[in-house]
Chain A
Amino acid sequence: MKKLEIRKNAYYDSVTLMIISKEVKKLPGVAEALVGMGTDLNRELAGRTGLDAEGFEEVTANDFFVAADCETEEVFSDVVAKVDEMLSKKAEKSKSDYFPPTLDGALKMEPDLNMAIISVPGRFAAEVAESCLDRDIHVMLFSDNVTIEEEKALKEYAASKELLMMGPDCGTAIINHVPLAFANVVRSGDIGLVCASGTGAQEVSSIIDQLGGGVSQLLGTGGRDLKAEIGGIMMKLSLDALARDDKTKVITLVSKPPADEVAKQMLKQAKDTGKPVVVCFIGGDPAEIEKYGLYAAVSLEDAAHKAVALSKGQKPEDFTSFAMGEEQAVELARAEAGRMAPGQKYVRGLYTGGTLCDEAMKMLIGKLGHIYSNIPLAPEDKLEDARNGKSVKDTFLDFGDDEFTVGRPHPMIDPSLRAERVIQEALDAETAVILADCVIGYGSHEDPAADLADAIRQAKGLAEKDGRYLSVVVTVCGTEGDPQGRRATQTKLEEAGALVLPSNAQAARFVQLIRNNR
């Protein structure tokens, strides 16, 4: 039936009415509908669609009308109700930030931009970085898959303008006490760091914070800076800046052992700063460092200890012990090992931080002889298909390596794959101890301990059902000031049955104590 309602001298905008017409037509039982002002066009439309029911001739341009071809009277009252509802509806305000599409647009909004964080796909990253350097904006380049030629060109360009070009593959920096990307909330202080490794930087800076020290600046260089092809361009520029920085009293360098020639130049430059410099070449030879009158660190943790000692005017000494005390650690390890079943022999290191994984392997390789890994210390210990395959004897996995990140976020953002592996390792009767890291801070998952704690609880339960005792040793990397909180993170893990050690080095040493007892 054709129905019509006329409201004399009521005005509504024509676009509003077109939208309403469209919605009303969707109501059940409505064949055709037209809601509008009685303009010539609408009157013609009504005629053409056969909606000009009796009384339509009275509609004038100043009148509002609802016309519908509908099944029943009730349907028409639904139509009128819907029209009224939509006419009185006020849309909720959608006020979101404006994201400009280009750097130029960003500069219009904020002309004083001085630091860029870039994490676009690698093949586009160099171009984006270059455009920032063009505008005198310092760069932190998180993206990987940037060619070494591109890296060299970018760094040479940046150096010519005295700009920071941190990365590619640089995940951690703290500039003017602001953590960038994956970084921790560290007390401010007088220790300046230059780090070629992300989690290495997080470990050292977090332990500095725990020891009551503080950081002036933490500059990243990216993992390839000290290779011969790049020649440490950013390491040199950063050292130079920290040398000139009045707020920096102690300098700390963190890197894997660099190319010989680069190492020499760098150590010479470090010496020339005239400031005390702690150097941590993870697993490197301390003699070369000491030759230049610099302080060689034996671990990331030790680098933090030495830097804090120097900052406090104390004599730095090697820290190779346990915060809980050597004897207590030995006792605890013996107790852990004592509860295990006879077949439990091996360590399974499951890491989200690549440098932490590397450091633990280097500390344990002397004792274990072979450690199988996706990032092995010796080529023959390379695990094929680490993601889907089983662990072999003593196995360490870096979940942040390419193999595990294809098609998924970095494990520090999404730790679920590592959590699954914890359970998988618990099913292996040869697993004695699982060693894992839990990295908190900005950039990381909002509560990485939750996932890991659940997995640990399940893993321990599975082992127990099978008549075994699974030892789980975890190191938390981060500070109390981090959004997740160090203490809260530790508590969650301890409640799940993990032994939480205050540093990666202590965790590795503790695992060695357990292995000594197997």
Chain B
Amino acid sequence: MSKVNELFDQKLAVVNFGIESFYQDQVKQNTQAVHVDWKPVAGGDKKIARCLKDLKRPELLEKITAANQEALKRILSAQPVLVGMSTAGEAIPDMTPTTILHAGPPVAWENMCGPVRGAVMGGLIYEGLAKDLKEAEELAASGKITFSPCHHHDAVGPMAGIVTYHMPVWHVVNKTYNTHAYCTMNEGLGKVLRFGACDQEVFDRLNRMEKEYYPVIKEALELHGEIDMKVMIAQALQMGDEGHNRNKAGTSLLLREIAQDIYNTHFSREQQEAAFKFLNDNDHTFLNLTMPSCKCTMDAIFDIPYSTVVATMCRNGTEFGVRVAGLGKDQWFTAQSEYIRGLYFPGFTEEDANRDVGDSCITETTGIGGFCMAASPAIVQFVGGQVQDAINYSSQMYEITVGEGTAYQIPVLDFRGSATGIDVMKVIETGIRPIINTGIAHKDYGVGQVGAGLVNPPEDCFKKAIEACAGAWGQA
């Protein structure tokens, strides 16, 4: 029997592209129907559409599909575990006393934005390499300082993402694939180094972190033993966090786990109290644990040939950078990073905002953060105030990912696993860009955070990436 005759015996199920009233007419007739919110591939950019088509040739697509399934498998089978703390100088590969790590793709001092410059200068003063801002600025420009992205050193940093030699860092290991990741301790809100603040208040806090809190927490973790981060992040998602902008539940869970150990350390009660209070007073403590957990999860998918899954998304405040699993760690696809659509703290407006900055969107890369917005009704007001908006954002992300999570689930979507494994091809095909929940830094150094909101990676990052994929594996 021909397919047409088979159709005559089936119940009609219509998919509509284009004029929406044709779909509405089907709905009126109670026909099964789906309307596709169709847009031309890559906004009608024929060159990019050709790259996509090239990659979709059956024999190549088969390889890509298999590679992306492997990438998804590695992401889902990752087992990030908090193993302890050390200092950047001790632990981070290729770290030297004059190295400064920053967020995002590579960027030279001349091209750094205000808050990143502020944080660099603050870092130099904190390390004792400069005595004041003027000296710090001269030193930064002198060529004597090695600037390098955190991502090149198994590290991630929120906002400016500055890591210097003496800073204490959390150490997370992906036990399944033996990848390591490091991240500094979160300083808190307000005037902090990661937002480019660099005055005495900031240095005092950084010093207390290094001298007072770090030894206590390090010992507490030694007493406690390893902590399974995947389980803890999964629990936080079920308690109203989305893993990027809301970290209240995760921070609470961490403290519940190690509180006793803090008080079992050999330090004075006063010092124990101070360390506990430092972790507890900052809702975002857990962000700096989620980030390295995601980082060591995603680093395991490099070196899968033909995979079009995004392994890294990050921004340095000037540019947004993307790396693709199948193209390796050395190829960055960058474009000017965008401004954040969001809510501002009283006294600040869009005029004050810096461009999108920070490594924290490693969370979205792994399938949490904005991708789990529906899990966090407490912050959906950033997206327009209605829970449905957050659900729509999270639902849309399934259109651009290879699959769905197993551990990270969204209660309101009937515990559906979050959209996981951003596929460059699908981003190009759908025109849907990943959604990122993030903070807004002031454009000038020294001020700090001025708001929070939503942002997307620039489309050009994905266009450049798909061109490179087609160039590497395609025929054209």
Contact = CB atoms under 8 A, between A and B. Distances in A.
Given A22-B343, A247-B8, A136 B3 contact: yes
Interface stretch (A88-96, A366-374, A469-477): A88-96
A99 B346 contact: no
Nearest to B345: A45
Nearest to A19: B381
B431 A163 contact: no
B5 A244 contact: yes
Contacts of B389: 94
A15 B381 contact: yes
Contact of A110 (B25, B32, B346, B379): B32
A19 B385 contact: yes
A112 interface: yes
A102 B430 contact: yes
Nearest to A237: B4
A497 B345 CA distance: 68
B18 A118 contact: yes
Interface string A21-62: 110010000001110000011001100110000000000000
B415 interface: no
B190 A19 contact: no
B430 A137 contact: no
Given A19-B343, A101-B431, A115 B2 contact: no
Nearest to A94: B388
B3 A161 contact: yes
Given A99-B36, A106-B36, A217-B8, A142 B399 contact: no
A113 B14 contact: yes
A316 interface: no
B347 interface: yes
B146 interface: no
A365 interface: no
A138 B29 contact: no
A439 B190 CA distance: 67
B18 A15 contact: no
A119 interface: yes
A429 interface: no
Given A15-B381, A19-B385, A245 B8 contact: yes
Nearest to A24: B346
A413 B16 CA distance: 18
Contacts of B429: 102
B346 A98 contact: no
Contact of A124 (B10, B40, B379): B40
Contact of B12 (A118, A119, A178): A178
Of residues B4, B44, B426, which shows the largest number of chain A Cβ atoms within 10 Å of its Cβ?
Answer: B4
A15 B382 contact: yes
A325 to B, nearest CB: 37
Contact of A34 (B40, B346, B396): B346
Interface in A86-128: 91, 93-95, 97-106, 108-110, 112-121, 124, 127-128
A19 B344 CA distance: 9
Interface string B387-402: 0110010011011000
B26 interface: yes
Given A41-B190, A91-B385, A119 B39 contact: no
* A interface, size bucket: 35 or more
Interface in B13-70: 13-19, 21-23, 25-26, 28-29, 31-32, 34-41, 44, 49
B7 interface: yes
A100 B388 contact: no
Contacts of B12: 114-115, 175-176, 178
A113 B3 contact: no
A125 to B, nearest CB: 8
B343 A15 contact: yes
A164 interface: yes
Contacts of A238: 4
Contacts of A103: 15, 36
A240 interface: yes
A112 B15 CA distance: 10
Contacts of B190: 40-41, 44
Contacts of A149: none
Nearest to B431: A101
A116 B343 contact: no
Nearest to A135: B15
A241 B5 contact: yes
Nearest to B379: A15
Interface of B: 1-5, 7-8, 10-19, 21-23, 25-26, 28-29, 31-32, 34-41, 44, 49, 189-190, 281, 343-347, 378-379, 381-382, 385-386, 388-389, 392, 395-396, 398-399, 426, 429-432
Given A18-B343, A137-B15, A413-B21, 9 more contacts: A13-B381, A41-B190, A99-B37, A101-B37, A106-B15, A112-B11, A124-B40, A180-B14, A442-B25
* 7 A-B pairs with the lowest CB-CB distances in the bound complex, closest first: A119-B18, A241-B4, A99-B37, A101-B430, A162-B3, A15-B381, A106-B34
30 contacts: A15-B378, A15-B382, A18-B344, A32-B347, A49-B347, A95-B388, A100-B34, A101-B399, A101-B432, A102-B429, A110-B13, A112-B11, A115-B7, A115-B13, A117-B14, A117-B22, A118-B17, A143-B18, A162-B2, A162-B3, A175-B8, A176-B8, A180-B14, A180-B26, A238-B4, A241-B2, A241-B8, A442-B25, A442-B28, A483-B28
